[in-house]
Chain A
Amino acid sequence: MTVAMDADKLNIEPNLGAPDDFYEALIEMHRDLTPQQSQLVNAKLILLLANHVGDLTVLREAMAHARDGVAGA
C-alpha cells in the first residue's frame, strides 16, 4: 500500500516492507557490544538516518514523537 504524504511531514504510517527482518538486523547490529558502545552505534545510526531525511521540520517532528511520554529527570 502506498500512502500519499507531504514531503515535509513525518511519515508515521507503516512503511517497513519486512518489519521482522529490519528488527532482527537492528538487534544484530549490536551483537557483542557493551551498553556504552551500543549507545555510540545508535547515535551514529540516528545521525546517518537524519542526514538521509534532511528536512529539519520532519526531524523535529520525529524528535517530538520520540520524546513524547518520557518525563525529564
Chain B
Amino acid sequence: MAVDYQKLELAYARCAEQKTDAPVRRPVIVVGAGPVGLSAAIDLAQHGVPVVVLDDDSKLSFGSRAICFAKRTLEIWDRLGVAQRMVDKGVSWNVGKVYFQDELVYTFNLLAEAGHRRPAFINLQQYYCEGFLYEHAAALRNVELRWKNKVVAVEQTVDGVELVVETPEGRYGMQAQYVVACDGSRSSIRRVLGLESKGRVFSDRFLIADVRMKADFPAERWFWFDPPFHRNQSTLLHMQPDNVWRIDFQLGCEADPDEEKRPEKVIPRIRALLGDDAKFDLEWVSVYTFACLRMDAFRHGRVIFAGDAAHCVSPFGARGANSGVQDADNLAWKLALVLASKAPEALLDTYATEREYAADENLRNSTRSTDFITPKSEVSRTFRDAVLKLAKEHAFARRLVNSGRLSTPTTLVASTLNTPDDEPFAGAMMPGAPAADAPVRVAGEPAWFLAHTGGSFVAVVFSDSGTLGADVASDLGSLAHAAIPVRTLVVVPKGVASQPQTGYTVVEDAEGMLAQRFDAREGTCYLLRPDQHVCARWRRVDAARLRGAVARATCNA
C-alpha cells in the first residue's frame, strides 16, 4: 500500500537521556531530518558512526517543495542505497525548452551523451524523497531519530558540544563530539549561536501551483519568458509523479501573497495556460520569495553547517537541496575519519573550504539566473529581450539565455586535498572532479562503474590484460589493509574477459567509455576519495605515491 508521506505522523518517544541522569556522549548529533540531515545521518551510519537525529517536528515535508533532484545527487543516493526507489517513483528528464512570448526559442539536452546510469534529473515531490530517506535511516541500527526534539541551547566546550533539547515532556541535556546543523534556511542552531547567513534578498514574488490532472505534455522542463498567457512575467512547467504538475508563475514585486494564494486568483492563471476546458485539481499552492545567502564559515568549532542552514540559493537551477546533499556527501567520510582518530580535525576545515567554494559557484549561478529572469532595470530588461530575440536564430545568443543553470556538481579544483598532476591528462577528470560514470561488465554481467567506487578510497587501475604484476599486486594488497584502506579496482578494455582476482575487483570497460572519459592508457591510475571525487592520478601505479596522495587527502601529510 502506498504511504501518504505528507500525513505520516512520526511519534515522539522518550529517549535514553530523559530516563537517566548520567549523560551519554554521542559522537554525532544531526539537527534536522530533511533531505540533507537524513542523507548525512545515513552516510555517517554507513561509515560506522552512530548518529542521533533531532527534528523539532513530527512530520515530513508538507507540499512538493524541492522537486528536482540532479544526477550527482542520485549518484550519492546510489552510494547510500536509496536512489533506485527515487528513480522508480520519480519522473526522469533531460530536455528543457525555452519560449519567448509565443515562440519556441530553443531546446537543450542536459545529458546529451549515453553511458550514464542516472538521468540529468528526476522530478520527485520532497515528501517522497524524505519518506524514502526516512525509511532507510529508520532501518539502520546505528541511527536514532528523535521527533519533536527541538534544540533550544547550544554550548561548545573544549572537547564537545552541549545541547538543551525541548520536548513535549520538558527539556533534557545532550552531549556530542560534533553537531551537524542541517536545520534549514531559518536554522535555529545558527540563531542560538548568534551566527548569520548574509547576501542578497530578492523582492520578486513567485506562485507555486501544483495541479493534479491528466495531461500529455512530455517529461521536459518548459520555461516561458513573457508568454501570452502571463504577460511580462515568466512561467515554468514541470511534471511530477502521480499526475501532478508544478506550475511556477512569476508575480512581480507588488503582488499580495495572501491574495495570490486564493483559488479564485490561482485558477484563472492556470486556465490561461492550460485552456478553459482543462480539468484539474489544486494540490498545493504557495507564494514565495527567496534570497541568495551564505554563512561566512561552514565550520564553527564542533558545530558544522550544511544545506540551507549554511547557504541559500534562488530556486532557478535546482541548486538548493542538491548542493545540500553534496555537502553531506563531502562531510560524512571526513567526520568518520576524524572520529576514528585516523585524521586530524583540519580535515573538517576542508569540508568548509570545499563546500564554501561550491556554495559560491551555486550562488553565482543562481543569482545570474535570477537577474536574467527578473531584470532589475529597464536596460537589463532590454538586453534580456534582445538575447531572447536573437536566440531563435543565433546559437551564440542561446548560450546567453539563462532560465536557470541547472545543478551540476562542483569540481573542487583548488582543494588542498588534491595531489597536482605531474603528467599531462586530457578531459574533465582532473583532481577535484566527481568521477564520471560509465557502463562496465563484472564477470560478464552489466554493471555501472560508480557502483564499484565510493565508501572508501579506491585506486582505479587501467590494465590491458587485467593481471597486475606480482610486485604491484602486493603493493596494492598492502594498501587494502592500511589504517585508511584503499580498495583496488582494475579496469580492462572492452572484450577482455574480466577474470575474478583475489584482492581486487576487475571490471570490463563495456563500451570503452571509461578509458575515454578518464583519458586512460595502460597503467593509468586514479585515486578516488570515499565521496567519489578524483584526488590524484598518474600514468603508472606507484604504491608510495598512492600512500602519499591518501595522506594528503586526509590531512595526514
Interface residues of A (CB under 8 A from B): 12-16, 19-20, 22-24, 26-27, 30, 33, 35, 38-39, 42, 65, 68-69
What chain A residues lie within 8 Å of B383 (beta carbons)? Answer: 23, 26-27
Stretch from B71-79, B258-266, B388-396, B521-529 contacting the other chain: B388-396
Contact flags B201-245 to A (C-beta < 8 A → 1, else 0): 000000000000000000000000000000000000000000000
User: Which chain B residues in 391-406 approach chain A with CB under 8 Å?
Assistant: 393-396, 398-400, 402, 405
What chain B residues lie within 8 Å of A42 (beta carbons)? Answer: 379
Q: Check if B380 is an interface residue, CB within 8 A of chain A.
A: yes
Interface residues in B, total, Cβ within 8 A:
21
Instruction: List the B residue with the shortest CB-CB distance to A23.
Output: B400
Q: Check if B341 is an interface residue, CB within 8 A of chain A.
A: no
Given contacts A20-B368, A20-B402, A24-B368, whether A13 and B379 have CB atoms under 8 Å apart is no
What are 6 inter-chain pairs, A to B, with CB distance below 8 A? A14-B395, A23-B402, A26-B383, A30-B380, A35-B379, A38-B379
Interface residues of B (CB under 8 A from A): 365, 368, 371-372, 377-380, 383, 387, 389-390, 393-396, 398-400, 402, 405
What chain B residues lie within 8 Å of A12 (beta carbons)? Answer: 394-396
Instruction: List the B residue with the shortest CB-CB distance to A24.
Output: B368
CA distance A48 to B399 in the complex (A): 23
9 shortest A-B CB distances, which residue pairs?
Answer: A38-B379, A19-B399, A14-B396, A35-B378, A30-B379, A19-B400, A27-B380, A23-B400, A14-B395
Contact present for A16 and B399 (CB under 8 Å): yes
**Which of these, B379, B389, B396, B405, contacts A16 with CB under 8 Å?**
B396
What chain B residues lie within 8 Å of A68 (beta carbons)? Answer: 393
Name the residue among B395, B399, B405 with the largest chain A CB count within 10 angstroms.
B399
CA distance A37 to B393 in the complex (A): 30
What chain B residues lie within 8 Å of A69 (beta carbons)? Answer: 389
9 additional A-B pairs beyond A16-B399, A19-B400, A27-B383, beta carbons within 8 Å, are A12-B394, A12-B396, A19-B399, A22-B400, A33-B379, A38-B377, A38-B378, A39-B379, A68-B393
Instruction: List the B residue with the shortest CB-CB distance to A30.
Output: B379
Given contacts A26-B383, A30-B380, A38-B377, whether A20 and B395 have CB atoms under 8 Å apart is no
CA distance A13 to B400 in the complex (A): 13
CA distance A37 to B210 in the complex (A): 43
